[in-house]
Amino acid sequence: MNIIDKTLPSAPASGCNDRPVLHQRGQHEVFCGLTGIMWLHRKIQDAFFLIVGSRTCAHLMQSAAGVMIFAEPRFGTAIMDERDLAGIADMHDELDSVVEKLLARRPEIKLLFLVGSCPSEVIKLDLGRAAERLSVTHSPSVRILNYSGSGIETTFTQGEDACLASLVPSLPAEPENAPDELMVVGALSDVVEDQFDRLFKEMGIDTVRFLPARLADDMPAVGNNTKFILAQPFLTDTARALKDRGAELIQAPFPLGAEGTTAWLKACADQFGISDEIFHAVTEKPKQRAERAVAMHFENLQGKTVFFFPDSQLEIPLARFLHQELGMKPSEVGTPYLNKTLLSADIEMLPEETLLSEGQDVDLQLERCREEKPDIVVCGLGLANPLEVEGITTKWSIELVFTPIQGYEQAGDLAELFARPLNRRTRLEV
């Protein structure tokens, strides 16, 4: 975990939503972008993530993904020691030899990401050049890419954005006269991906591809006929890279809950000319199932206030779901970075009185939180324990990234993730 003080870039000025946003530029507490490896290494089954970092980075990954000790992990850390940092050793030679040994021992690896960290950023180790050089040696059997997961540059889920953005230039080009293809962008659990794939096919959208794919050689092609929709809200750089390759963004609310999922699917259906009748016939039953599952938690959650500290960048779509589908009142919705364009549909459905904040000044935000006395706070691990000690119910935002929450079949589970801690506190208070 990094606790750092840095100047955040100003909010993108784009977007139709002119709602005021509180910009904060003080100390903030978030995980670094290395965290994304925890779900990405499970998603891309023949990829390996080689962190070029320190013992701190290795410890973060080891403790956070400790279950992997029972299997051959698909991530590791090339640890830079004092000799490397002092410039005594040639870092590029050392890296070449680590990669050589790794690929000789693990011939199943088809895609290798060199992942930058704080130490490699500080000594300005050029991982882009290293990836190019190593690609020449190891292609075509292994593709080697690089991105930064450093806490100096990224927060938590931005690691996935940086990883997918690094993949985009290497995606194959779609043939000029290819039919329109739908690309769903953002790592989803396999079960959620399969559900979406089935719904799209039932509607008649046969050409659906997912980025990232489960295998390195199965990554989708991209070109002027690609229409892409984001499944995760934190993919600003990936969206930009796809647009640069000619793909067109389909804008929609994010697929959380019954309403969010319906709006997300409908945006795709409209883009592909699917009639309202067919859309309704395909989505009616799963939508009703989702509504029933969410309704089971309505009574417990309706009217409860929720306060989001900035962490996962899922905060705005989650607040939309809790407000629109469960009648909760988001008092403040903080997000590390705010892309008003990608999130405009969700922002428009938040109540007027909800304060939107971008970045963090943790002490000031804690004061606002204590003043609000919300029923539940969504925050990172570092803030959860101290707030619980003060009697405030919390939900770890990282849990919402690791748990499958998108789509109709997960809508009830998502509502339960918020109902459970509130029920637990009620029981403790009885």
Q: Does 189 bind ligand SF4 (CB under 6 A)?
A: no
Among the listed residues 24, 150, 155, 166, the single contact to ligand SF4 using CB under 6 A: 150
- Which tokens go with 247? 């793909």
Q: Does 151 bind ligand SF4 (CB under 6 A)?
A: yes
Residue 172 DSSP symbol: P
Candidates 53-61, 213-221, 224-232, 382-390; binding stretch for ligand SF4 (CB under 6 A): 53-61
Among the listed residues 57, 256, 322, 362, the single contact to ligand SF4 using CB under 6 A: 57
Question: Beta strands of 275-370 (E only): which ranges?
Answer: 305-308, 329-335, 355-360
CA distances from 367 to 187, 194, 387 (A): 35, 43, 12
Q: Does 118 bind ligand SF4 (CB under 6 A)?
A: yes
Candidates 22-30, 51-59, 320-328, 382-390; binding stretch for ligand SF4 (CB under 6 A): 51-59
Site string for ligand SF4, 11-50 (x = CB under 6 A): ---------------------x-x----------------
Residue closest to ligand SF4, measured at CB:
151
Among the listed residues 38, 60, 144, 274, the single contact to ligand SF4 using CB under 6 A: 60
- Torsion angle, CA of 223/110/201/255, rounded to 10 degrees? -80
* Beta carbon nearer to ligand SF4, 60 or 134: 60
CA distances from 156 to 25, 145, 311, 422 (A): 17, 20, 7, 26
* Beta carbon nearer to ligand SF4, 56 or 339: 56
Closest CB 31 distance from ligand SF4, rounded Å: 8
Give dist(CA 409, CA 406) in Å, integer.
8
CA distances from 395 to 245, 301, 384, 421, 424 (A): 39, 14, 7, 7, 12
Q: Does 241 bind ligand SF4 (CB under 6 A)?
A: no
- Give the strand pairing for 2-5 and 27-30: antiparallel
Provide the binding-site residues for ligand SF4, judged by CB under 6 A.
Answer: 2, 32, 34, 53-54, 56-57, 60, 117-118, 149-151
